[in-house]
Each structure stands twice: as structure tokens, then as C-alpha cells.
């Protein structure tokens, strides 16, 4: 099947960061032509005249099934937040995990995300719901010491079983996820890293999210979390460290030497008032691969990566008193090229180039907030002006998931109609 996206401004994100006016031609799952006028016939014609086409965004830290818990633990202290969320989380059912995942996927689609990295348990339930929604899930089964888990059986064995069951599923990439050093001992950390290396899959984990986490670990081991993880051999090219807000320059250098990635989650950190600002310029200077995540719907309430990119840029500029840091082009790179590298898919995702998967988002070029629109300001408009309201059509691996504002995969009305009942049930338990 050939799909032709016609006459758009195409933000290619290729090595030269070219912006071209023309067609994007998709054959099956992949892009075959960019920019040139396609004179052949297509099975599907999409009129994108004057619209903006960007690569599908990649959210590198979520807990997608928590979308049904939105607003369940707001405006309370961090210890009270943790207590409330853990209690709700321990009582969840397969059905509300499914509904939460579908709500979260629909929200991400509507804000331009085609791939997300998830850290949770029951990723088998999440995988099935994600497949129905039609986007790509890098689903990292949560691994932690048995004394802290509500999972049945050994979490690392559960992770391996999930991998074996879903490794060949289309648009599902199983991975491993460490909850954090506060509930993961050396044996579990090493085991997850060895499995990640053996299968060459992502290994994601929370890292230095709060000052208390860092201080507690120093008291316990004599080392800061990133130093300790480095010393036991857990840092590496497959690693994606979420938050990474309370770090020393020595830790930044260790992370760079390991060739790893970070997922900065500014809204979550600010909403929880955990303090600390991820050292983005230092990550860039030393060579840590920087990406962006929204975190879950209890800490952020939104899975809108477009909003997250703007917030990340503004926080860095404001906290540094320097408007030249976190430039618009860099921010777009974080959510496309850098994120594709973080999940090991830089050869398939992150830019609009022939041979890559057709993961593209069409933004309404007739929206007042995106005009005036010229090649010189398009990237700035995307970062500082665009919103989820501008997203018209979303294609993931050749599949049109959202078309002119309508989901083609899941029945949103059916999913949303049961969400309030589930929220009340979860919170009343």
C-alpha cells in the first residue's frame, strides 16, 4: 500500500536538519521518498498542503496505565503522595490497567507521540492494549527485590517471561526496568543489566529523582546512586535513567563514559516539588544522550510531550539565567533523534528519511498559533507555540492511527465511558 502525504512543510530531522516543501511517500511500513513531488498514484492520499510534518515524538519515561489514576494524589506532600499511590497501585486489576493504557495511548497520539518507554509491572496487559491503540511501546517490566514487590513470583523472572512472550510482536519492544536503588539490591541490579546486555534491550530506571534518595543511598553504601551503579557495572549503552536531577559532575562524566541516556521529566519534578534541575548543558557537554519523558499521570497528570519540551526549555533557561541553553532545535532533537538512539532504533526512527519507519505527525498549518510560518521559524514554532490541539493526523509504522482528529484504532468513547467509575473504585479502595 502506498500513502502519499502531499505538499507539506517537512521537518526532516535528517543530519542537515533540512526543512523541505513537498511530499512524503510511504510504502507499507516505511518512508520511500521525501520532498520530491510524487507523480504516481497512491492508495491513500493525504492533503497536507501548508501543514507541518514532523517525526513521531518519542516519550522516554512513562507509566502509561496510570492514566486512569489522574488527579488521585494531587497537592499533597511527597511522602503522602507515595503512600497514596502505592496503596492504589497494589489494588489494580487487569481491566483498569487496560483502560488506563488505552486512555494514555490516546492522549499521547493526540499530542504527537508515536513511541513511548514504559516502566511498570503487568506489561503483558499493557502490551495488548498498546497494540490495539496502534503505537509503539518500549515496555520495560519493573524489576525490584522480592521483599518490596506485590508481584507474584520473582520480578526478574517475570521480566524474562514477558520478553520471551512478546519479543516478536509488531510495535512492541520488551525491555527491563529497575524501580530504583532504594528497592533494588546489587544482585537484582546486576541481573537486570546482564539480561539487558544478553538480549540487547533497553534497561530503564529511576535515578537521583530526589535529594532524600541520594542521601539515603550514601548512608547505606557510602556512594551516590550513579557512582554505585557504575561501580557494580550497571551503567551502559542500553541504560535510560529517568529524572537524573540530583547529580554531581563526576556522576555526569561516569554516565557519559558509559554511553547511556537520560530522560528528563521537568513537570513531574516541579509538581512533586522534589527540587533539583537536571544538568542538561553538562549532559550535552560530556556526551550523555539527552531525551525527555512525561512520567506518569499521577506525577504530571499529562502525557503531552509537546508541552513537556517547552517546559524543559523554559526551566533550563530560567534556572541558568541563560536564554541560549536548551535551544529549540536541541529540544526537538531530544524527542526524536536522541530518543530513537536511547531505545536502539536510531536506524529506524527519529527522522523523516527514506528507509525509516513511517512514524510521522501532521500539524495543522492553518492554526493561528503556528503562523506566520516560514522555514526559519518552523522549529521554534513547534517548540514554543505548538500544542496538542494542532495535531491532525498521526501515522505509526505506516498505520494511520489518528486521521483528521479521529482515532482509527480504539473506540475512545467506549474507553472513556468507564474511566470515571474505575477512578472512583481505585480511590475508594
Residues 263-301 pLDDT 10s = 999 999 999 999 899 999 999 999 999 999 999 999 999
**Spatial contact of 318 and 280, defined as CB atoms under 8 Å apart:** no
Does the pTM surpass 0.95? The reply is yes
DSSP 153: S
CATH of domain 57-342: 3.20.20.140
Q: Give the residue-averaged pLDDT of 129-156.
A: 95
Residues 131-144 pLDDT 10s = 999 999 999 999 99
Superfamily of domain 2-55+354-412 in CATH is Urease, subunit C, domain 1 (2.30.40.10)
DSSP H helical ranges for 111-248: 123-133, 155-166, 186-199, 211-221, 225-231
Other C-beta atoms lying within 10 Å of the C-beta of residue 344: 17
**Spatial contact of 5 and 53, defined as CB atoms under 8 Å apart:** yes
Q: Where are the domains of the chain?
A: 2-55+354-412, 57-342
**Spatial contact of 100 and 51, defined as CB atoms under 8 Å apart:** no
91 pLDDT above the threshold of 90: no
The closest of 81, 126, 91, 94 to 426, measured between CA atoms, is 91
Amino acid at each position: 500500500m502506498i500513502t502519499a502525504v502531499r505538499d507539506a512543510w517537512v521537518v526532516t530531522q535528517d543530519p542537515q536538519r533540512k526543512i523541505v516543501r513537498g511530499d512524503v511517500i510511504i510504502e507499507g511500513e516505511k518512508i520511500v521518498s521525501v520532498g520530491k513531488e510524487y507523480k504516481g498514484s497512491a492508495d491513500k492520499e493525504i492533503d497536507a498542503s501548508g501543514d507541518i510534518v514532523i517525526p513521531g515524538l518519542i516519550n522516554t519515561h512513562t507509566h502509561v496505565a496510570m492514566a486512569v489514576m489522574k488527579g488521585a494524589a494531587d497537592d499533597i506532600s511527597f511522602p503522602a503522595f507515595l503512600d497514596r499511590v502505592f496503596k492504589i497501585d497494589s489494588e489494580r486489576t487487569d481491566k483498569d490497567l487496560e483502560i488506563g493504557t488505552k486512555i494514555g495511548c490516546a492522549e499521547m497520539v493526540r499530542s504527537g507521540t508515536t513511541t513511548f518507554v514504559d516502566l511498570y509491572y503487568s506489561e503483558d496487559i499493557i502490551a495488548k492494549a498498546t497494540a490495539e491503540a496502534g503505537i509503539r511501546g518500549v515496555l520495560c517490566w519493573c524489576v525490584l527485590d522480592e521483599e518490596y514487590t506485590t508481584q507474584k513470583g520473582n520480578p526478574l523472572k517475570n521480566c524474562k517471561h514477558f520478553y520471551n512472550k512478546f519479543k516478536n510482536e509488531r510495535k512492541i519492544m520488551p525491555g527491563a526496568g529497575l524501580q530504583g536503588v532504594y528497592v533494588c539490591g546489587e544482585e537484582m541490579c546486576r541481573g537486570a543489566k546482564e539480561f539487558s546486555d544478553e538480549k540487547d534491550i533497553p534497561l530503564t530506571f529511576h535515578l537521583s529523582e530526589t535529594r532524600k534518595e541520594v542521601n539515603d543511598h550514601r548512608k547505606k553504601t557510602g556512594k551516590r546512586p550513579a557512582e554505585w551503579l557504575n561501580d557494580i557495572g550497571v551503567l551502559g549503552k542500553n541504560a535510560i535513567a529517568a529524572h537524573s536531577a540530583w547529580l554531581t559532575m563526576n556522576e555526569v562524566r561516569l554516565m557519559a563514559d558509559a554511553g547511556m541516556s537520560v530522560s528528563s521529566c521537568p513537570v513531574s519534578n516541579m509538581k512533586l516539588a522534589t527540587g533539583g534541575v537536571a544538568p542538561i548543558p553538562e549532559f550535552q557537554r560530556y556526551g550523555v544522550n539527552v531525551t525527555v519523558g512525561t512520567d506518569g499521570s499521577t506525577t504530571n497528570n499529562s502525557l503531552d510531550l509537546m508541552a513537556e519540551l517547552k517546559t524543559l526549555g523554559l526551566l533550563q533557561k530560567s534556572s541558568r539565567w541563560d536564554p541560549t541553553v536548551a535551544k529549540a532545535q536541541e529540544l526537538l532533537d531530544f524527542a526524536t533523534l536522541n530518543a530513537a538512539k536511547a531505545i536502539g532504533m536510531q536506524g529506524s526512527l527519529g527522522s523523516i528519511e527514506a528507509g525509516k519507519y513511517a512514524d510521522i505527525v501532521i500539524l495543522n498549518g492553518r492554526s493561528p498559533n503556528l503562523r506566520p510560518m516560514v522555514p526559519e521559524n518552523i522549529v521554534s514554532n513547534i517548540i514554543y507555540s505548538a500544542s496538542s490541539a494542532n495535531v491532525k493526523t498521526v501515522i505509526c509504522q505506516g498505520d494511520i492511527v489518528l486521521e483528521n482528529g479521529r482515532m482509527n484504532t480504539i473506540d475512545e468513547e467506549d474507553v472513556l465511558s468507564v474511566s470515571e467509575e474505575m477512578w472512583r473504585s481505585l480511590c475508594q479502595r
